[in-house]
Amino acid sequence: MAGDIADPPATAAADTPADPLLLERFLPYRLSVLSNLVSGRIAAHYSQRFGLGIPEWRVMAVLAQAPGLSAAEVAARTAMDKVAVSRAVAVLRRTGRLERSDDTQDRRRSRLRLSAAGAAVYDQVVPVARRLERELLDSLTPSDRDALDRILRVLLSKVQSAAGRTAEDLPEESRPCQDPSPASAAS
């Protein structure tokens, strides 16, 4: 049953260095594997059809939601490495999917937007991403989806707090959603 959890809850971090690290119970590892598998399923669609990698798609998804960001702002919203964002931006510009313009307030900064071609690709990928998200979330009961969203918000807040950031530092559209129905296609 979707609401039942067979495995016991993961234990807290090991008390001593001699305690083995069991990756299958280690939260960062489990979250990373889950993220990679989910992103990989969506990427299987857009990589073959459009020649996009995961970093390029994430940049496109963020800019579709918030046009006019700088590369540094995209990196902050996605928690991606600035070098990965820079490479993705270069690929998207080279393929005509992204436009860059000078910031009118600060000429040292540039603003990024999807081109018409980039928006067309985005519009084709989003329905697939949402369908795959629905398939995944449909394996959970409504109360489990609510719990998952609540847990993700708590963990995100904790990690951001430890890094000196809060959820309020992120634009509202970048925060985990309250409603777990098609939340974000940026995988």
CATH code, 133: 1.10.10.10
The whole-angstrom distance between residue 48's C-alpha and the CA centroid of its chain comes to 20
Query: What's the mean per-residue pLDDT of the chain?
Result: 85
List, for residues 82-101, the tens digit of each pLDDT value: 999 999 999 999 999 999 99
Pair of tokens at residue 116? 């018409």
Instruction: Kindly state whether residue 147 falls inside one of the protein's structural domains.
Output: yes
Q: Angle at which helices 54-65 and 71-78 pack, to 10 degrees? A: 100
Q: Is the pLDDT of residue 18 over 90?
A: no
The count of domains in the chain is 1
Question: Cα(24)–Cα(145) distance, rounded to whole angstroms?
Answer: 22
Q: Is residue 80 part of a domain?
A: yes
pTM, full prediction: 0.75
For tokens 């847990």, the residue is 151
pLDDT digits (tens, 9 = 90+) for 3-16: 444 555 555 555 56
Residue 41's pLDDT band (cuts 50, 70, 90): very high
Distance of CA 162 to the CA centre of its chain: 19
Looking at the DSSP assignment, which residues form a beta bridge with residue 98? 114
The domain in which residue 155 lies consists of 23-174
